[in-house]
Amino acid sequence: MLRDFGPTEFLFLVTSARWTVLLSLLAFVGGGLLGLVIALMRVSPWPPLRLLMVGYIQVMQGTPALMQLFMIYYGIGLFGIRPDPWVSAAYAFTVSSSAFFAEIWRGCIEAIPRGQWESARSLGLTFAQIVRLVILPQAFRIMIPPTIGYMVQIIKGTSLASLIGFTELARAGQVINTITFEPARVFGSVALIYFVLCWPLSWLSQRLEARIARTRGEAVGLG
C-alpha cells in the first residue's frame, strides 16, 4: 500500500528537521566549549599538554565521524546501558566538532602577532590573562566567519545520526521514501530543506570573510 508524496509528507519532513536543528545546536554549543578549551591548551606554554592536544586533534580529524559515532554508540552499550541514539549522537558530534573548532581557532589565535604575547608577558600578565584580555578580543573578529562556516558542516554531519536510528531529517526522508517510493521527490525535498538551513550560513560566512579580508587589504582566499 503506497502513499503519494503530498503536502502531509513534505510537512513531516519539515517538522523532523527540528531534530536536525536541535542536534546541530547541541553539537555547536558542546563542541564549541570543548573546542575552545582544547584550542587554548593547544597554544599553552606547557609542551606535554600541547602534544596531548595535537594527538587528540590528529586522531579526531584522522578518523571518520561515522566511526566515532559507532564507537560511542556501541561503547555506551558496554556499560550495560541500552545505547540511546539521541545521547550517542549528541556526544559523538560534540567530540568530533570540538577537534575541528580547536584547529580552526588555533589558526585564528596564531594569526595574532607574536609581539602581542611577548609584550603582554613583559607586562607581567599570566597566560590566562593574556588569552582573556589580549589575544581572544583581537582573535574574535577573525574567528567568526570560519566558525559560522563550520556550523554548515555540523548541520550536514548530523545526517549521520540517521544511521544509528535517530529520526532526524535524513532518516525521516528514508522513512517517507519507504512508504511512498518516490525517491526523487523525497530526497529532493530533503536536500532542499538542508539547503535552506545551510545556505544562509555559508553566505554569511563568505561575506564576513570577504569583509575582513577587505579591511585588512589582503587577497581573499588561499588561506
Query: Cell match 558542516: residue?
Result: 153
Query: Cell match 593547544: residue?
Result: 42
State the minimum distance, in angstroms, from the CB of residue 71 to other proteins: 5
Please, are residues 80 and 10 in contact by the beta-carbon 8 Å criterion? no
Cα 66-70-55 angle, rounded to 5 deg: 70
User: Of the candidates 190, 205, 208, 209, which one interacts with other proteins according to CB under 8 A?
Assistant: 190
Amino acid at 30: G
Nearer Cβ to other proteins, position 106 or 135? Answer: 106
Nearer Cβ to other proteins, position 138 or 153? Answer: 153
Tell which positions 65-124 bind other proteins, by CB under 8 A: 65-68, 70-71, 74-75, 77-80
State the minimum distance, in angstroms, from the CB of residue 51 to other proteins: 16
State the minimum distance, in angstroms, from the CB of residue 142 to other proteins: 18
State the minimum distance, in angstroms, from the CB of residue 67 to other proteins: 4
Query: Cell match 536541535: residue?
Result: 22
Tell which positions 118-177 bind other proteins, by CB under 8 A: 152, 156-157, 159-160, 162-163, 170, 173-174, 177
Element (H, E) at 145: helix 136-157
SS3 75: helix
Please, are residues 68 and 95 in contact by the beta-carbon 8 Å criterion? yes
Task: Please measure the distance between the N-terminal and C-terminal CA atoms of the chain and give it in whole angstroms.
Answer: 54
Binding site for other proteins (CB under 8 A): 58-59, 61-68, 70-71, 74-75, 77-80, 152, 156-157, 159-160, 162-163, 170, 173-174, 177, 183-184, 187-188, 190-191, 194-195, 198-199, 202, 219, 221-222
